[in-house]
Structure 1
Amino acid sequence: MRAVGVTEFGGPEALHVIDVPAEPLGPGQVRLQVTAATVNPTDTHARNGAYAQRDPVKQFPYVPGMDAAGELVEIGPDVDTDLQVGERVMAIVLPSGAHGGYREDLVVPAASVARSPKGASDAEAATLPMNGLTARLALDLMALEPGQVLAVTGAAGAFGGYVVQLAKQEGLTVVADASEADEQLVRDLGADVVVRRGDDVAARIRELYPDGVDGLADGSVQDELVLPAVKDGGTVTTVRGYRGDGQRGLRVHPVLVRSYGEEQQKLDQLRQLVEDGVVTLRVARTFPAEQGAEAHRVLEAGGVRGRLVITF
């Protein structure tokens, strides 16, 4: 079975097509024939070895990838599902060793899989699970009420864009950051107010909301630089483990999407929101498996709007 992975850690050039055995199918699991796997920043850390010490599997090859889409080809024992063999599905993947989204043969818990949105290509469907569930978790942790104000940094990115769209659907007022080039995109996603991005974004937000906003989703990983945008006692979600500075009673929640790795109902709700036109799927470019290294180079060069997807 083909996969895109590394047999030694390194830069994008370390990523290449490798042969891996089919994964065994156990109770509660399903098998996918993957045709599309989204490239995310976390995948680059799996490739360069930054996460190796966390992984219980201490041997090569390593296969990155937290999103996959394709065809459901086998259902294991003790699976309670209405999914059927032959359906187009998408899945969130929790990588470990050679088990990752960048492989043709993939076995995952049935609870990690949902139908792909109607009318979406496999490449489009593959962009939803990890970032969509991360956005869903961020909003669930903040638990804001309709009418409250949420600030979103990195709003033009995948996580930030999903947060904006989900927050608007739930009745929040959204103030988001953007570069001049991305301003229209962020407005189209649904932001009520757009401020210019940068290290002074907190001051720009405070100019509009002198008491501070109720919540902040920090998709641009600015950490302590953006905390001043939030009112005393407000709530913040971060995506790289930052836990705040302990001041002003701010409630800071690091978002770890692994905790939603088997929230099938939430993934299926995201599917429905795509079909309802609330959430949009953005593919910037696709790469055949043999060009996986180039996909990582393009991602690390920055400036990508929409997702890069490896296809099989």
Structure 2
Amino acid sequence: MRAVGVTEFGGPDALRVLDVPAEPLGPGQVRVRVTAAAVNPTDTYVRNGTYAGRDPVQEFPYVPGMDVAGELAEIGPGAQTELEVGDPVMAIVLPTGAHGGYREDLVLPVGSVARAPKHAGDAEAATLPMNGLTARLALDLMALQPGQVLAVTGAAGAFGGYVVQLAKAEGLTVVADASEADEQLVRELGADVVVRRGDDVAARIREHYPQGVDGLADGSVQDERVLPAVRDGGVVTTVRGYRGDGQRGVRVQPVMVRQVAEDGAALDRLRQQAEQGVVTLRVARTFPAEQAAQAHRLLQGGGIRGRLVLTF
């Protein structure tokens, strides 16, 4: 079974095509024939060894990848699903050892798999599960009400873009950051107010909302630098585990997508919203799986809008 992973930790060139055993299909699981796998920043941490200590599998190879799309190949005993073999699907993957999205055959919990959006290619469908579920969880944890104000940093990225679009669909007012080059994109995603990105983004947000915003989704991982943008008693969601400074009653909630990795209903709701045009599936570029190193180098260079996707 072909996969792309590492047999030693390192930079992009550590990635190589591997031959890995097929995974056995157990109760409550399905097998997906993978044709597309999105490349996310978290994949680089699997590749370079940052996550090695938390992985229960302590031996090589390690295969990155949290987002895939392809075809449902097999349904295990007791797997409750309306899907049928041959259906186009998308899925979220929690990588452990050789079990990661960069492989052409994956066994997954049935709750981690949903039908792919109609009229979306496999590469497009592969961009939705992980970042979409993370954005959905961030909004659920903040529990803002229609009419309240949400700030989003990293709004041009995959997570930030989904937060903007899902928040607007729920009646929130959105202020988002962007570089000059990305301002039009962020406005098209639905932001009501766009401020220039940077270390002083909190001050720029306060210029528009002097009392502070009700909530903030920190997609650019600025941590303590964005706290001043939020009103006393407001809420911040973070994607790298930051928990705040405990001041002004601001609640800082880390978002861990693992908590919802088997929430099939939430994943299917994202599928529906993609079909309705509520969220936009953005592919920056595709690469054959054999060129994964090139994709990682491009990702690390920054400035990518949309997702890079490996194809099998």
Deviation of 1:296 (Å): 0.4
Provide the TM-score with structure 1 as the length reference: 1.00
Distance, in Å, in 1 between the alignment partners of 2:281 and 2:36 is 14
Distance, in Å, in 2 between the alignment partners of 1:100 and 1:251 is 33
Per-residue CA deviation, residues 200-241 of structure 1 (Å, 9 max, x unaligned), is 110011011010000000000000000000000000000000
Residue in structure 2 matched with residue 123 of structure 1 by the alignment: 123
Residue in structure 2 matched with residue 94 of structure 1 by the alignment: 94
Matches within 5 A, 1:231-246: 231-246=231-246
Per-residue CA deviation, residues 94-151 of structure 1 (Å, 9 max, x unaligned), is 0000000000010000000000000000000000000000000000000000000000
Residue in structure 1 matched with residue 169 of structure 2 by the alignment: 169
Give the secondary-structure state (helix, strand or coil) at the position aligned to 1:226: helix
Residue in structure 1 matched with residue 54 of structure 2 by the alignment: 54
Provide the TM-score with structure 2 as the length reference: 1.00
Residue in structure 1 matched with residue 305 of structure 2 by the alignment: 305
Deviation of 1:62 (Å): 0.3
Matched, 1:186 2:186: yes
Q: RMSD of aligned C-alpha atoms?
A: 0.4
Matches within 5 A, 1:128-143: 128-143=128-143
**Identical aligned pairs, as a percentage?**
82
Deviation of 1:266 (Å): 0.3
Residue in structure 2 matched with residue 288 of structure 1 by the alignment: 288
Q: Give the aligned residue type for 1:76.
A: G
Return structure 1 stretches of 4+ with deviation > 4 angstroms. none
Residue in structure 2 matched with residue 18 of structure 1 by the alignment: 18
Distance, in Å, in 2 between the alignment partners of 1:203 and 1:58 is 45
Residue in structure 1 matched with residue 72 of structure 2 by the alignment: 72
Gaps of 5+ in 1: none
Give the secondary-structure state (helix, strand or coil) at the position aligned to 2:42: helix
Q: Give the aligned residue type for 1:155.
A: A
Q: Give the aligned residue type for 2:279.
A: V
Deviation of 1:45 (Å): 0.3
Per-residue CA deviation, residues 249-268 of structure 1 (Å, 9 max, x unaligned), is 00110000000100000000
Q: Give the aligned residue type for 1:308.
A: L
Deviation of 1:2 (Å): 0.3
Residue in structure 2 matched with residue 199 of structure 1 by the alignment: 199
Distance, in Å, in 2 between the alignment partners of 1:115 and 1:265 is 11
Deviation of 1:55 (Å): 0.6
Distance, in Å, in 2 between the alignment partners of 1:201 and 1:79 is 47
Distance, in Å, in 2 between the alignment partners of 1:41 and 1:129 is 15
Residue in structure 1 matched with residue 250 of structure 2 by the alignment: 250
Give the secondary-structure state (helix, strand or coil) at the position aligned to 2:25: coil
Q: Give the aligned residue type for 1:194.
A: V
Distance, in Å, in 1 between the alignment partners of 2:113 and 2:303 is 30
Q: Give the aligned residue type for 2:109.
A: P
Deviation of 1:295 (Å): 0.6
Residue in structure 2 matched with residue 146 of structure 1 by the alignment: 146
Distance, in Å, in 1 between the alignment partners of 2:281 and 2:56 is 33
Q: Give the aligned residue type for 2:176.
A: A
Residue in structure 1 matched with residue 3 of structure 2 by the alignment: 3
Deviation of 1:88 (Å): 0.3
Deviation of 1:273 (Å): 0.4
Distance, in Å, in 2 between the alignment partners of 1:67 and 1:207 is 38
Deviation of 1:76 (Å): 0.2
